[in-house]
Amino acid sequence: MSVEVKVPMLPESVADATIATWYKKVGDTVTRDENLLDLETDKVMLEVPAPVDGVIKEILQQSGATVQANQAVAIIEAGAPAAKAATTAEAPAKTEKTAAPAPAQATAASTTNPALSPSVRRVVAEHEVDVAQVVGTGKGGRITKENVLASVGSGSRQEKRVPMTRMRARIAERLLEVTQTTAMLTTFNEINLSQVIDMRNRYKEKFEKTHNARLGFMSFFIKAAVEALKRFPAVNASIDGTDVVYHGYFDIGVAVSTDRGLVVPVLRNADKMSMAEIESTIAEFAVKARNGKLTMEEMQGGTFTITNGGVFGSLLSTPILNSPQSGILGMHKIDQRPVAENGQVVIRPMMYVALSYDHRIIDGKDSVSFLVAIKELLEDPARLLLEV
């Protein structure tokens, strides 16, 4: 019996999707719920599982094709044994079994390796790399994206033209729109993180044992940002037509970098979350983002965003607003720098911070005062607990 493999229901507001990668080819045996292909939308990656056990009889839509919800992309011969993998049309190929497999065939087989992460499988497929020839340097000898790219080699003056992914194109569109439709300005300050670092060093082991979550810097910054947003509600607002919408809740977006681009999952009601809940939720979001498992619901909304370029070594930058939000906080690298304290020069762990804001609804006084509030809260983190 032939069974169609159909595109699942797409998230709300998503009209269609693009087939990013096929992990099976005609003649391959599949098991029920095994991932057959990845679908890319403007924001999320979706997997399409096999509806039944059987053999791929026909692929109706190839990689790169644009498909819609409920559209058939392949046909599976349900319950067909592996011996039926080849059809009559493939008879000539059967006579060549004694020949060495073509590189493309080896590549197709390699992309189904379950030990490879989804991002690595995509790179393998894009560059037609045989992973059997790649030495893995990851944990336990796992093959990483860098290993695959290194194996491709770099000839002199090579060029490769590839279309933007849907997500990258959407990111480009949104960033350009923000620069053209907002009056964006950026204000800067610097924070002495000595007390935050001392507190973190004292309690991080006990924190991890108690809450099963790593104590990072982001939870301190989110707590400080929420308190500052309470004091300066315009930074937590957005423009809707000719109205200013003041949000009475604090949904904080945290920018996460992935192989496919930057995504911003949202911590709902961050003001009601403990530091342990913030850290564990961020860690969960990071794993889901890098595996392409974030849902539309997890990325929609948000009243304010925090991005951390410091993890990549950035010393200073001007973050771009995440429309329709009116403010975004940029964290940067912690650097040991000389500063003046009580008339003496001392070395302290300093971080430059940047607040980009929409000047249409946020005045310079409020933007500077907001950033100063975050600075004061983090330089004396006890104030976060006392809310003073």
Residues 315 and 335 sit within 8 Å (Cβ to Cβ):
yes
Same domain, residue pair 144 and 58 = no
> Given 99, 125, 148, which residue is the final one in a domain?
99
Name the nearest CA neighbour of 56 among 26, 83, 84. 26
Looking at the structure, do residues 207 and 267 belong to the same domain, yes or no?
yes
Specify if 104 maps to a domain: no
Helices marked H in 217-339 — which ranges?
218-231, 275-290, 296-299
State the pLDDT at residue 227.
96
What positions carry a catalytic annotation?
A: 359, 363
Whether 260 and 378 map to the same domain: the answer is: yes
Query: For 223-253, how does the pLDDT look when each residue is reduced to its tens digit (9 = 90+)?
Result: 999 999 999 999 999 999 999 999 999 999 9
**Could you read off the pLDDT of 54-84 as tens digits, one per residue?**
999 889 988 888 888 888 999 998 875 544 4
- The residue written with tokens 């809707």 in the block is 240
Tally of domains in the chain:
3
Is the model's pLDDT at 354 over the cut of 50?
Answer: yes
Same domain for 153 and 204?
A: no
Instruction: Report how far residue 207's alpha carbon sits from residue 211's, in angstroms, rounded to the nearest whole number.
Output: 6
Closest by Cα among 133, 163, 164 to 150? 133
301 and 321 assigned to the same domain: yes
Do 284 and 181 share a structural domain?
yes
Other beta carbons within 10 Å of 243: 9
pLDDT of residue 109: 46
Residue 98 pLDDT: 43
Domain harbouring 129, CATH code: 4.10.320.10
Q: What is the mean pLDDT of the chain?
A: 85
Note whether 134 and 184 are same-domain residues.
no
- Residue 145 has a pLDDT of 79
For the residues 78-95, what does the mean pLDDT come to?
50
Can you give the residue range of the structural domain that contains 155? Answer: 111-163
Q: Looking at the structure, tell me whether residues 358 and 254 fall in a common domain.
A: yes
Q: What is the CATH number of the domain that holds 59?
A: 2.40.50.100
Q: Are residues 122 and 235 in the same domain?
A: no
Rg of the Cα atoms in the chain: 25
Query: pTM for the full model?
Result: 0.69
Local confidence band at 13 (pLDDT 50, 70, 90 cut-offs): low
Instruction: Let me know if 9 is exposed, middle or buried by CB neighbors in 10 A (0-12, 13-18, 19+).
Output: exposed
- If asked whether residues 60 and 139 sit together in one domain, one would say no
Same-domain pairing of 49 and 93: yes
Predicted local confidence at residue 336, as pLDDT? 96
**Same domain for 234 and 310?**
yes
Q: What pLDDT does 103 receive?
A: 47
